[in-house]
């Protein structure tokens, strides 16, 4: 199967087989795909919680409109954006660039870092919150594509109480916010939606060419 075949194969899985688990090897592959995701300025200003614990997931299911994917999937990925200490995150990123690329233009990089801080600092609270959460969706997309590549099922989900997730997982204390989640595992034979034909707009309808 090529990439397009795999993307046609995937769908937002509604019913998972709770007896099937993603292997450690495949889990590491998914982690690496997320790690390599694009991100504004390259900052990766988020963390990803991977939850297996069944007791925690039972509580999270209550905060997710009782959706069975939360407990029946192999793993639950919770993408969390940072809500504070943005300047420190930028400083950490600039230092990582210096350490990784062994650059000699340290002052130039630090000046670039100050420019990033200024750009983020000048956002309104609403605009910054929107920007922070959008970063997690970029990482989520890499997870979805990586799952399709390994023929692992996934269901991205926005239907959950963010504040309750933050409370249950202690995210507020860590300066994090649950932005979007994804259940990952393997489809059940009982999932009738797997038989439905994928519905997407045609290329002609979706794209415009500027001339």
The model's pLDDT over 102-142, given as tens digits with 9 standing for 90+, comes to 977 899 999 999 999 999 999 999 999 999 999 999 999 99
CA 174 from centre of chain: 18
Mean pLDDT of 8-20: 97
In whole angstroms, give the CA distance from residue 104 to residue 171. 37
The pLDDT of residue 1 is: 80
Domains identified in the chain, total number = 1
Q: At 10, is the pLDDT very low, low, confident or very high (cuts 50, 70, 90)?
A: very high
Domain that holds residue 162: 3-86+125-206
The model's pLDDT over 182-193, given as tens digits with 9 standing for 90+, comes to 999 999 999 999
Claim: this prediction has a pTM higher than 0.85: yes
The pLDDT of residue 211 is: 83
User: What CATH number is given to the structural domain containing 148?
Assistant: 3.40.109.10
Alpha-helical runs (H) found in the chain: 3-9, 24-35, 54-62, 69-72, 86-101, 106-121, 125-149, 162-168, 203-206
Q: Is there a domain that residue 100 lies in?
A: no
């Amino acid at each position: 199967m090529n990439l397009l075949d795999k993307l046609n194969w995937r769908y937002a899985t509604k019913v998972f087989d709770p007896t099937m688990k993603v292997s450690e090897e495949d889990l590491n592959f998914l982690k690496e795909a997320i790690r390599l995701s694009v991100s504004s300025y390259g900052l990766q200003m988020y963390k990803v919680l991977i939850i297996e614990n069944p007791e925690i997931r039972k509580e999270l299911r209550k905060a997710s409109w009782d959706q069975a994917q939360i407990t029946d999937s192999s793993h639950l990925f919770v993408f969390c954006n940072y809500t504070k200490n943005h300047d420190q995150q930028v400083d950490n990123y600039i230092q990582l660039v210096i350490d990784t690329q062994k650059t000699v233009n340290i002052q130039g990089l630090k000046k670039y870092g100050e420019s990033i801080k200024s750009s983020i600092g000048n956002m309104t609270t609403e605009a910054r919150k929107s920007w922070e959460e959008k970063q997690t969706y970029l990482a989520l997309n890499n997870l979805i594509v990586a799952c399709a590549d390994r023929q692992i099922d996934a269901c991205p989900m926005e239907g959950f109480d963010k504040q309750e997730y933050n409370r249950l997982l202690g995210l507020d204390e860590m300066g994090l916010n649950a932005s979007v989640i994804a259940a990952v595992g393997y489809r059940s034979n009982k999932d009738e939606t797997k038989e439905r034909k994928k519905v997407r707009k045609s290329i002609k309808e979706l794209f415009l060419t500027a001339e």
